[in-house]
Structure 1
Amino acid sequence: MTAPAAPIARTVTTPPSDSGRPPLRRRRKPSVHRALSRALIAIIVIVQVYPLAWLFLTSLRDEHDFATGDPFALPKSLTWENYARAFETGDLGRNILNSFIVTMGANILIVLLGMMAAYAIQVLGFRLSRLVRGLFLIGIIVPVQIALVPLFIDYSTVNLLDTYQSMIIPLAGFSLPMSVYLFSSFFEYIPRETYEAASLDGAGPYRIFGLITLPLSVNTVVTVVLVNSIFIWNDFIFANTFVLSEELKTIPLGLQNYIGAMGKVDWTATFAAVCITITPLLLVFLVLNKAMIQGLESGATKG
C-alpha cells in the first residue's frame, strides 16, 4: 500500500506596491468641524470666565489705583481692605441672611408644590390633566411685571407688605410652571409597572409618592432648586416693590447702599460685595453641577 500524498501547501503572494515598499498608513487629518467646535467652546469659556476673573481682581485693587488708572488693567497691588469696607458701608451680613431665607422658603414651596402637581398630572391622572398641564405651561410666558400692582394692593389689604412672605409667595408662584414641566417630564421615565407593583402590595398614593417617586427625583429636585435659586437670589423687582424697611432688604437692594452722595460709587467696595454675594451660588453650582446636568437631561428631553 502506498501512503497518501501530503497536501500541497498553497502560498498566496501579495503584489508589491509600485514603489516596491510596503504601503504606509495614512494619517488622519483633524476634522475641520472638530477644530471649529473646540475654538467655539474656548471662546464661550473665555467670555464666561473673563468677567468673573476681572471682578475678583478689581475687588482686590486699590481704590486710588482703580480711579486713576485703566479699569481693565491688572492691579499694581492687592489689598483686602475693600472687603472690610464692603461690610462697613452696607449691612451686607443682614442682606445675605434675608436673601438666604427668601431663597430657601421659595424653593421649599416650589419643590413641594411642583412635585405634587406633576405627580397628580402625570402619575395619578384625571380627566382634565392635559388641560391643567397646558395652563401651567402658559404661565411660563406670563411676565412678572403685570402682577406687581395687584399684589401690592392685595398685600396692603391683608397686611403682608414688608414681610418675607410678600417676596416668597410671588417668587414661588412664577417659578412653578417650569418646575411642574420638569417634574412631569421626568415622571414619564418611571415605568408604570413600578407604581402598579407598589399598589398591589397595598401602598397608597401618598406612600408611593414618598417611597418611590421622591427618591427617584433627586437629580430633578437639584436641577429645579439650582435654576430657581439663581433667579430668586438675584431678584430685584419683588423685593424693591414689597420691602419698605432696611431690616428686610435682600442683596440686590443692599447693593444700593454703596451709592454715595451725588451718585458717587465706591466701586472697589461694591465689587467686593458682589464677589461675596455670588460666591455661595458658584460653590453650590460647582458641587452639584453633575446632578443638575442629569436632571436637565432626564426632565427636559421628553414630554
Structure 2
Amino acid sequence: MQPTRRRRRIDYFKGLTGVLVTLIVIVQVYPLAWLFITSLRTESDFVNGNPFALPTEVTLDNFVRAFGVGNLGLNILNSLIVTMGANVLIVILGMMAAYALQVLGFRFSGVVRGLFLLGIIVPVQIALVPLFIDYAAVGLLDTHISMILPLAGFAFPLSVYLFSSFFEYIPRETYEAASLDGAGPYRIFGLITLPLSVNTIVSVVMVNSIFIWNDFIFANTFVLSDGLKTIPLGLQNYIGAMGNVDWTATFAAVCVTVTPLLLVFLIMNRAMIYGLESGASKG
C-alpha cells in the first residue's frame, strides 16, 4: 500500500506541474500570437470587430504601411548598430576584467570584484542628467556613441560577474600547464579562456541584447534627430494628430522588430541556458 500511495502522490504532482507549465506557456505565448494575428487584420476589422477574435480578412498592407509611415528600416538599423556596439564593449571589457580578477589575481581583487557587483544595483536614472551635460560639452550628444557607452557601462558589472564565476570552473592546472609551455597571459587568454567561454559569451550577449534592443530611456534622452532614432523611439511615429494611433501598422511594426530577436533567442537557447548555469552556479 505504501508504494502505491507514493506513486499516486508522484503522479498527482506531475499532473499539477504539467498544468502549471501549460498555463505559464499559454500566458507567455498568447500575447505574441495575438500580436502576429492582429498585424494581419485590416484596420476596419480591428476597429469595428472584436479585437480578440480571428481576422475575417488577412492583409499584408499593415507591414507596407509600417515601413512607409515610420522609417522602420532606419530604426532597425540604428538599433542593430547600438546593440552590436554595446555588446562588443560588454564582452571584451567584461571578459578582460573577469580574467584579471579571477585568473591572474592581484591584491584586493576580491574588493574590486565587490565594487563591480555594487554597480548592478545602481539605477540608470541617476546618470541621465550628468551624462547629458557631459555629452553636450564634448560633442557626443545625438550620436550612436551616446547610447552605446551608458548601455555598455550599466551592463558591465553583470557581465564581469558571469564571466568571473564561469572562470572558476576552468582548472588551475590548465593555466599552469600553459605557463610551463611558455605561454604568457595574453596567449592563455586567447587560446584557452576565450574558446572555453563561448557559451557564456552567448548568454551575456543575449541577456544584454534584450534590454539594449528595447532601451527607451537613454535613446529618448540623448537622441535628438529622427535619423538616429532606435525602434522604441521610432514606434512613436505611428501616433498621429490628437493621439490617433494606426494600431494595425503599429502591431505590424512591433511584430517585425520582435521576430528577429525571438528567432535568435530560440536558436541560441541551449547555449544561453548552459552559459547562465555555468556562469552563475558558483557565483
Aligned match for 1:112, one of 84, 92, 97 = 92
Partner of residue 78, structure 2: 98
Q: Does structure 1 residue 248 correspond to structure 2 residue 254?
A: no
Aligned match for 1:285, one of 257, 260, 265 = 265
Partner of residue 178, structure 1: 158
Q: Within 2, Cα distance between the matches of 1:74 and 1:87?
A: 24
Task: Give the C-alpha shift of residue 128 in structure 1.
Answer: 1.1
Aligned match for 1:221, one of 181, 201, 205 = 201
Q: Within 2, Cα distance between the matches of 1:291 and 1:82?
A: 35
Shift >6 Å, 4+ stretches = none
Partner of residue 123, structure 1: 103
The structure-2 alpha-carbon separation of the partners of 1:265 and 1:188, relative to structure 1 and needing over 3 Å to count, comes to same
Partner of residue 272, structure 1: 252
Task: Give the C-alpha shift of residue 220 in structure 1.
Answer: 0.0
Could you report, residue by residue, the CA deviation over 1:240-259 in whole angstroms, capped at 9, with x for unpaired residues? 00000011000000000000
Secondary structure at 2:59 match in 1: coil
Q: Within 2, Cα distance between the matches of 1:88 and 1:94?
A: 11
Q: Within 2, Cα distance between the matches of 1:189 and 1:81?
A: 53
Task: Give the C-alpha shift of residue 26 in structure 1.
Answer: 6.8
Q: Within 1, Cα distance between the matches of 2:111 and 2:145?
A: 30
Q: Match of 1:233, as an amino acid?
A: W
Q: Match of 2:34, as an amino acid?
A: W
Q: Match of 1:209, as an amino acid?
A: F
64-73 vs 247-256, greater mean Cα deviation:
64-73
Q: Does structure 1 residue 234 correspond to structure 2 residue 217?
A: no
Secondary structure at 1:43 match in 2: helix
Q: Within 2, Cα distance between the matches of 1:106 and 1:61?
A: 36
Aligned match for 1:257, one of 225, 237, 243 = 237
Which structure shows the bigger proportion of residues in helix conformation?
2
| TM-score when normalising by structure 1 | 0.90
Partner of residue 58, structure 2: 78
Secondary structure at 1:177 match in 2: helix
| TM-score when normalising by structure 2 | 0.97
Task: Give the C-alpha shift of residue 77 in structure 1.
Answer: 1.2
Q: Which of the pair has more CA radius of gyration?
A: 1
Partner of residue 121, structure 2: 141
Partner of residue 209, structure 1: 189
Q: Within 2, Cα distance between the matches of 1:215 and 1:196?
A: 17
Q: Which stretches in structure 1 are left out of the alignment for 5+ residues?
A: 1-24
Q: Within 2, Cα distance between the matches of 1:278 and 1:73?
A: 22
Aligned match for 1:189, one of 169, 191, 207 = 169
Secondary structure at 1:31 match in 2: helix
Let me know the Cα RMSD of the aligned residues.
Answer: 1.2
Q: Which stretches in structure 2 are left out of the alignment for 5+ residues?
A: none
Q: Within 2, Cα distance between the matches of 1:233 and 1:258?
A: 19
Q: Match of 1:95, as an amino acid?
A: N
Could you report, residue by residue, the CA deviation over 1:132-153 in whole angstroms, capped at 9, with x for unpaired residues? 1101111101100000000000
